[in-house]
Structure 1
Amino acid sequence: MTSSAGPSQSSAVQGRAALVTGGTSGIGLAIARRFQQDGLQVAVLDLDRPTARAVAAEHGLGFVGADLSRREDCRRAVTEAGELLGGLDVLVNNAGFQHIDPIADFPEDTWDAMLHVMLTAPFLLSKYAWPLLTRSGQGRIINVASIHGHVASPYKSAYISAKHGLIGLTRTAALEAGEQGLTVNAICPGYVRTPLVEGQIADQARTRGITAQEVEQKVMLEPAAIKRLLDPEDIAALASYVASPAAWGMTGAVLDLDLGWTAR
């Protein structure tokens, strides 16, 4: 006798297809490569630059070039990914960037770009991909948010606003998608050792006159219970489970991988 509660563990992963935005470096690349290991066909989306195309080619990933600050690029990207992969079962909204400035000095055009890339684009990509993602009854949307979707830090107003909004979008989409077999979840990492974070560590070490290790331990990890930066592969491992048939009953979840940051 088999349970009718959800897809069986033997449901085929082979043949499923995933699109990962911001997928040519850091967390996005780690997720894309983990999905490959899991047997998915994977395309990565990034700005159309030779370096991004080269990374995709090096790892045998499909590539979709798009500027997620442009509405028309979001629509085209979903169409191209669907054609390239022969369908779409998993969408990972990971693309983003950070800009550090006090609110009084925050450039308005940078605010607009960050909100569009990190909040409006996930909405648009989810909207345009919805018919593809609901086709198999095992669709997944995974939004890579941040611990800053729960808490705030100074000088990151646009980033934090976008990540808070992304959690709200996740929960709303999950409620709307449930009857169509499409799950929507968010992953909220703490600080991850990516090129972006390495650059921030170096900058803070120079401005504060301390070592890079002191920046990690005394600045970035001060609120954390575990005093160690995450690796991109840690987030990829969690994304792998969320994308799998085993996670059919998880939706609207906000999954903190935060080294105990919010346990206080």
Structure 2
Amino acid sequence: MADMTVEEVMDRYGPSEVRVEDILRPTDPNFEPETVALVTGAASGIGWATALALAANGLSVVGMDLDTEGVESVRERAEALDAEGRIVPFEGDLLSESDCAAAVERAGEAGELRYLANVAGLQHIDDIREYPTEQWDHIHGVMLRAPLLLTKHAWPHFEAAGGGVVGNMCSVHGHIVTGGKVAYNTAKFGLRGLTASVAAEGAGRIRSFSVSTGWVKTALVAKQLPETAARRGTSVEEVVRNVSLGHTRLKELLEPIEVGNLFVFGFSEHARHLNGGDLLWDGGMKHTYA
């Protein structure tokens, strides 16, 4: 059995508090309160950090999540950091197309919608022969179907604004896979296909990119670690050392704000040639896997 609870794992491997100096601040004329970014999964983890980073860069951010208290917490943190932009909470279910459409409509009401960050994710660990079909459907609904729906509904707003950018939260598991995560693995490979498809149809005016990281200090990861340890009959510490960081060259977990900064860069004018491509931030895992 695992030797640490999720709470203990979060205390040890959870994210650090975000400071102003941790946030990337590129120059971009569209980074202003009249411009809107829609961020999913904004109540926690990478979505929370991405929403905060974009608000700190002056954007109005519609944070979509079922956990409105979590989104309220990022709004409070943005205010504490004197962010030039603002956080607009939106309670919505990514499994509902009407909620996805309503989130885009709310983003359009908040200003000129130019950016969409599909960050929300979840995980279930099981072998293929035992994998629950309902978990497959749920994971793909949140992580693959919803990004398509949000992109579809945001497309007219992007055209009206003269351009837009879709950023998709992928993973090193969209490049290489580990066992027990068949739904997650296939969803992440699918997101890279969606990213390329947006670029193919966007004609240079609507572009896209994905972000592929290794292990990040989030609640999603914290919940996986005891499960993985129990499944492997080992300790959480050994899972972090041998599984999470075993094949990386840089032996440290990413902070969520470091991933949020990748979305800031990807949305900015400095990344205008990033279209359909992937920002692989995996500590060297994929290219030096040994």
Q: What secondary structure does 2:261 align onto?
A: helix
More divergent stretch after superposition (97-106 vs 132-141): 132-141
- Structure 2 counterpart of 1:36, one-letter code: A
Query: Which residue matches 1:114?
Result: 139
Taking the aligned partners of 1:161 and 1:211, their CA distance within structure 2 comes to: 27
Give 1:50 deviation, angstroms: 4.9
Give 1:56 deviation, angstroms: 4.6
Give 1:92 deviation, angstroms: 0.2
Query: Which residue matches 2:5?
Result: none
1:235 paired residue among 253, 259, 284: 259
Q: What secondary structure does 2:238 align onto?
A: helix
| Structure 2 residue runs without a partner (length 5+) | 1-26, 78-85
1:35 paired to 2:20:
no
1:226 paired to 2:232:
no
Q: What secondary structure does 2:29 align onto?
A: coil
2:199 paired residue among 174, 181, 187: 174
- Pair 1:114–1:206, CA change in 2 (3 A): closer
Taking the aligned partners of 2:28 and 2:213, their CA distance within structure 1 comes to: 30
Give 1:126 deviation, angstroms: 0.1
Kindly indicate whether structure 1 or structure 2 has the higher relative contact order, using CA contacts under 8 Å at least 6 residues apart. 2
Q: What secondary structure does 2:31 align onto?
A: coil
Q: Deviations over 1:139-175 (max 9, x none)?
A: 1110011111111111111111111011001001111
1:82 paired residue among 105, 108, 111: 108
Q: What secondary structure does 2:51 align onto?
A: helix
Taking the aligned partners of 1:224 and 1:232, their CA distance within structure 2 comes to: 18
Aligned partners of 2:43 and 2:68 also within 8 Å: no
Q: What secondary structure does 1:134 align onto?
A: helix
Give 1:207 deviation, angstroms: 5.6
Give 1:39 deviation, angstroms: 0.9
Matches for 1:197-216 after TM superposition, within 5 Å: 197-205=221-229, 210-216=234-240
- Structure 2 counterpart of 1:97, one-letter code: L
Q: What secondary structure does 2:113 align onto?
A: coil
Taking the aligned partners of 1:13 and 1:156, their CA distance within structure 2 comes to: 37
Q: What secondary structure does 2:208 align onto?
A: strand
After TM superposition, the score normalised by the length of structure 2 is: 0.82
Aligned partners of 2:68 and 2:91 also within 8 Å: no
2:89 paired residue among 60, 63, 66: 63
Taking the aligned partners of 1:77 and 1:171, their CA distance within structure 2 comes to: 24
Give 1:211 deviation, angstroms: 4.4
- Pair 1:209–1:111, CA change in 2 (3 A): closer
More divergent stretch after superposition (90-99 vs 10-19): 10-19
Query: Which residue matches 1:217?
Result: 241
Query: Which residue matches 1:125?
Result: 150
Query: Which residue matches 1:260?
Result: 284
Query: Which residue matches 1:6?
Result: none
Q: Deviations over 1:114-139 (max 9, x none)?
A: 11111011011000000112323341
Give 1:222 deviation, angstroms: 0.9
Query: Which residue matches 2:130?
Result: 105
Matches for 1:114-153 after TM superposition, within 5 Å: 114-153=139-178
- Pair 1:208–1:107, CA change in 2 (3 A): closer
Query: Which residue matches 1:193?
Result: 217
Q: What secondary structure does 1:130 align onto?
A: helix
Aligned partners of 1:64 and 1:81 also within 8 Å: no
More divergent stretch after superposition (134-143 vs 13-22): 134-143
Q: What secondary structure does 1:131 align onto?
A: helix
Query: Which residue matches 1:46?
Result: 65
Aligned partners of 1:56 and 1:62 also within 8 Å: no
Give 1:95 deviation, angstroms: 0.8
Query: Which residue matches 2:4?
Result: none
Query: Which residue matches 2:17?
Result: none
Taking the aligned partners of 1:161 and 1:197, their CA distance within structure 2 comes to: 18
- Pair 1:260–1:19, CA change in 2 (3 A): same
Q: What secondary structure does 2:160 align onto?
A: coil
Taking the aligned partners of 1:50 and 1:193, their CA distance within structure 2 comes to: 21
Give 1:228 deviation, angstroms: 1.0
Taking the aligned partners of 1:158 and 1:206, their CA distance within structure 2 comes to: 20
- Identity of aligned pairs, percent? 37
The CA RMSD measured in Å over matched residues stands at: 1.8
